[in-house]
Chain A
Amino acid sequence: MPEVRIIDVSKSYGKITALSDISLEVHDGEYVCIVGPSGCGKTTLIKSIAGIVQPDRGEILIDGKSVSHLPIEDRGTGYVFQEIALFPHMNVYDNVSYGLMVRGESPEERKGTVTEMLDMLSIKENSRFYPAELSGGAMQKTAIARALASGSTLLLLDEPLGALDVKVRTVIRHELKRLVKELGLTAIHVTHDQEEAISIADRIVIMKAGRIVEVGPSDELYLNPSRIFTAKFLGEANFFVGIVEKHVGKTLNVKMGDTTLSVRKREKIDLEPNDTCVLAIRPEFVKMVHRDEGNRLNALKGKIVEASFLGDLMNYIVEALNGLRVQVKVQISEEEPDIRVGDDVTIVLPEEHLLIYRHPSEGLEKELALE
């Protein structure tokens, strides 16, 4: 039985549609991240599950029971929401142990769980502080600890790490995931940070303009996204427009200017000769090869027009002879490659990494827009 089932939920604010016929199932024990650009409806969706927002239409079931008419406190969820503050008159320790106390655990029973939470989130030294004495980051960690210790099996987390510095966030997110799994909880986590979602989610829900674009495990969505917007939003990608030339067995020939690329066919996409299509490839899958290998499949000759050192990566922009601008990322594991701006290079777009899509009817630019 799925833990949470959302059926055809819609919500409008005046003329603005925040959610449009959303249906989604979150399974027992699953960690689901909801991502999308600001204004996509992700916060409205999680607030509808929590009971902070009342949908106009549709139904939400938790453990098979409709919760549509239940207020937030009766839905049996633990939550972290920006607008739901810590109890101001309680110190950190008491805030975190509140849920266990309500469930009738004795102070001795509570101590172990609370101490573990505080320790894991490194706020033990703050345990006697009151919320007003905490930094934004420490408040947020306390709210997470309180949610984890609430005894609820469903956690609703709205930007739970948003107030933390990047460096701290990348550490805490794994701790959060680990604890959710160890405690056997189900979590729905809204984040604007696609990297956070990729690294911790069992499944990612991508939203745009009040609708769900795509749902799937993070590696599947990253490596083989069904939708152009997914390729854009999760990680970086190069996009090119081309024209289908012909079918060649399991591949398609796609023409871009005077270049023909070979692309593996994908299921569920039926493209015919002369159809306009969009090709996408992630910058780390573009190969920089020796100039002599220019006759390889999908090889393009070009010039480096930008080169920047990013620490673990080199980021290049290559202007190909056919006019394409291609972003290429090369991981530096030993020494950075000796390639500079102005150098002639050959790049290969491996056919197994080229993604092909039907050209969107409303135009590519609109499809890729983040705001």
Chain B
Amino acid sequence: MTDETALCVQVDISDRDIFEAMKEISGYLDITPGDFKEVYLKAYRHALERLVGSVVAQDIMIRKVVYARDTDQLKAAAAKMSAAKVSGIPVLDDQMRVVGILTEKDFFKEMARGVASNFMDVISNCLNGRYCLAAPARDLLVSDVMTKSVITVSPKTAAMEIADLLSRKGINRVPVVDESNQLLGIICRSDLMAPQVKIK
């Protein structure tokens, strides 16, 4: 029964619970509590897969997406992100196709380039007035800094698959695009919490 441990939701059902339930059914049940438990756990996993598999990207994605154009000034994009209180936004070209993603990490990488190796270096340099690391970035464009190899999903991608993708790639959000790579929405980690609650 080792494969049951792979369940995201652990089912806490004991042989005793099953024994008591069997007592409530009159008539002889031709199965041991142990076998029933095995059936139950497998059935539960099938139900879980069915439920989670039935929720797809378009059911949970945010449709009003804050985004930047690749030709935008980096500082404008920063202001946009700050105003929207988001830590990452997709970057679109003039055809509204997703060409990249711009996150806090990209800013940090750009600003820390060669001078700082971690976040506290940046803070320390700034507080001690030694060097304002943001300054060299002032004249850059979004396309100079963004992550170009952007991972996207289709509107029909299962929520479970997306959750797996996020944790596997170590990312926090993924744009949802149509066949021509046009932006339809975005899914963040938090949108994947209890997704079945959100459908109708």
Q: Do A and B come from one complex?
A: no
Report which A residues bind B (CB closer than 8 A). none
Report which B residues bind A (CB closer than 8 A). none
